[in-house]
Every structure is written in C-alpha cells, then in structure tokens.
C-alpha cells in the first residue's frame, strides 16, 4: 500500500494541517516562495517516489497565483513519482464552465487541462458551483458537500424565529433546498437574473411568505455580495424580520461585507474553504471523511 502524505499549500495551510491531523497523515516538507516580481517557486524537501500526496490548495484571491502554485507543486511531485490528488476546497473558475456568450473561453476547461498536464490524477473539491463542470476533467473528480456542516453550525450557533430558507436563484437551488430539508425549515426560491455583460444582478419581486420571519439566504459563493444584497432587499421589503446569509465559499471581495451590512444582513457565515473572519464553519472533517474513502 502506498504511503500517504499531505501537502498543505500556502492558500490552505491551516485547513491542510487540520485534514492531515484528522487523517493521521504526516505533512510533506516543502516550501513555497513568491518573489517580489510575483513569480512563484516550489521546493520539495522530501522523497515522494511511489507515495500518494493529497495536495491541499484553495484557489481564492490572488486566484492565478494560488492556482499556479498548485500546478508547480503537482508537476514537481508527479515528476518525482508521486500520485497527486489535488484537494482544492474552493475551485476557482468553476462558474465559467461553458461558453455563455459567443466567443467566451471555457475557463474551467483550461484549468482541467492545466491540472492534467501537471500530473494531477484526482480532484477533490467542495461544492463545485455546478456539477456539470466536473465533466470537463478527464480524471476522477469529487465534489464534497459542505451543506451538512453549515446546517450543523446554524443549529448549534444561530437562533432564528420562524426560519425560512431562500435560494437567490434557480442555479443553486438544489443545494439550498438540501440545506432547508436538513435544517427543517420551509424552502423558497427567488428568480435572479444577471446581465451577462455587466454582471449586474436583479431579483424578480415575487410575493413571498416571509412577513415577520427570519430569512436564511443560502448560496454557494458570496463574491461581491451583489446577489445576497439583492435577495435581502427583496425579502426585507416584504416584511421579513431578519436576513442572514450563509454560503460555502465566502470570497467577500471589495466592500462585500460592508455592503451586506448596509442591506440589513445581520448574520454572515461561510465555511473555511477560503479563510476569513466570517468563514467559521470547518470543512476539514467533511474533506477528511471523503479522502479516507479514496483508494490509493
């Protein structure tokens, strides 16, 4: 049986360490460095031939740097004879998994191609934006759900009165519906449209049964906060008592957090696929449980 090791990449040092601890596996001795001009370097200080390495590296901002560090490490490890499983808690570019407008590149397809060329043999991610994206990879891929961890956190740490769980759009509604079922609250869906050129979000003002209730807006990603802000404004206008936002990947770029607070979103919670002050729901158990099931 091949020896297993974990490499905690610079974007996921804490999460990688925690996964290694839960699996009872040693951490690989390696160094990542970024030069003043922005170039990255990877140095491997261990022998990995014939070993299986779980390379944990999330690809949040700076996206291309984190992605390239993953590529550098995977290429080096595989050239030295390791079997590389890329564990990418937040998989960047997953939203561009098709040509939405004529001429657009399928960025996730390029990521898949890069990973394969760099020797990645399996990919494990958390709640990929859409399962369809996995079809772009020509090696085994797995998307682990963080929804049970988010539900457990909400049950143990947050108090709501007459909770209603809302999906801001159709795309992510299955994930949000699963949250509602596990949490034991009614589920509603808003209709969001996004201008494919400007990216601007609009929510259709359907009449919703939210008066006096606490609304939990559940989405896979919060990036600029535009989606959750529009959803929160829509439900508050209809008399909701409180709006909370829960997501898997809390990117919170630019002034996202301030803008959500202004839009009366009182509670903001994310998992730790991306590190951050609101990113408190730990996915290391979910990842470790899945990695345990993989054959070497």
CB of 55 to ligand R5P, least distance (A): 25
Nearer to ligand R5P, 73 or 201 (CB): 201
Q: Can residue 52 be called a binding residue for ligand R5P (CB under 6 A)? A: no
246 binds ligand R5P (CB under 6 A): no
State the nearest-atom distance from the C-beta of 219 to ligand R5P, in Å: 5
Stretch that binds ligand R5P, among 33-41, 110-118, 157-165, 168-176 (CB under 6 A): 168-176
Would you count residue 232 as binding ligand R5P (CB under 6 A)?
no
Q: Which is nearer to ligand R5P, 70 or 201 (CB)?
A: 201
Site membership for ligand R5P, residue 225 (CB under 6 A): yes
Q: For the residues of the chain, what is the DSSP string, one character each? A: ---EEEEE-TTSHHHHHHHHHHHT-PBP-EEEEE-TTS-EEEEE-S--TT-EEEEE----SSHHHHHHHHHHHHHHHHHTTPEEEEEESS-TTTT--S-SSTT---HHHHHHHHHHHTTEEEEEEES-S-GGGGGG-SS-EEEE--HHHHHHHHHHH---SSEEEEESSSTTHHHHHHHHHHHT--EEE--EEE-TTT--EEE-----S-TT-EEEEEEEEESSSHHHHHHHHHHHHTT-SEEEEEEEEE---TTHHHHHHHTTEEEEEEETTS-STTEEE--HHHHHHHHHHS--
Interface with ligand R5P by CB under 6 A: which range of 9-17, 113-121, 181-189, 220-228? Answer: 220-228
Q: Is 220 in the site for ligand R5P (CB under 6 A)?
A: yes
Count of residues interacting with ligand R5P (CB under 6 A): 15
Give residues in contact with ligand R5P (CB under 6 A). 95, 168-169, 171-172, 201, 219-227
């Amino acid at each position: 049986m091949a020896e297993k090791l974990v490499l905690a990449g610079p974007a996921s040092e804490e999460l990688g360490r925690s996964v290694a601890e839960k699996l009872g596996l040693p951490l690989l001795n390696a160094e990542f460095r970024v030069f003043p001009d922005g170039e990255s370097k990877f140095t491997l200080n261990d022998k990995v031939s014939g070993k299986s390495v779980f390379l944990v590296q999330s690809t949040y901002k700076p996206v291309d740097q984190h992605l390239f560090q993953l590529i550098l490490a995977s290429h080096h490890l595989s050239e030295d004879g390791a079997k590389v499983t890329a564990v990418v808690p937040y998989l960047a570019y997953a939203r561009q998994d098709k040509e939405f407008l004529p001429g657009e590149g399928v960025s996730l397809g390029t990521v898949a191609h890069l990973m394969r060329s760099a020797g990645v043999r399996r990919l494990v991610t958390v709640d990929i934006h859409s399962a369809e994206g996995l079809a772009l990879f020509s090696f085994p891929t797995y998307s682990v759900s963080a929804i049970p961890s988010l539900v457990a956190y909400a049950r143990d740490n947050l108090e709501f009165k007459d909770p209603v769980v809302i999906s801001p759009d159709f795309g992510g509604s299955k994930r949000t519906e699963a949250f509602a079922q596990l949490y034991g609250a009614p589920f509603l869906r808003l209709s969001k449209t996004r201008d494919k050129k400007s990216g601007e979000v609009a929510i259709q003002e359907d009449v919703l049964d939210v008066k006096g209730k606490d609304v939990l807006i559940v989405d896979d990603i919060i990036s600029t906060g535009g989606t959750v802000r529009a959803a929160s404004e829509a439900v508050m206008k209809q008399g909701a008592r409180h709006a909370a936002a829960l997501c898997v990947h809390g990117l919170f770029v630019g002034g996202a957090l301030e803008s959500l607070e202004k839009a009366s979103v009182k509670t903001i919670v994310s998992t730790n696929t991306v590190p951050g002050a609101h990113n408190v729901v730990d996915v290391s158990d979910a990842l470790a449980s899945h990695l345990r099931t993989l054959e070497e």
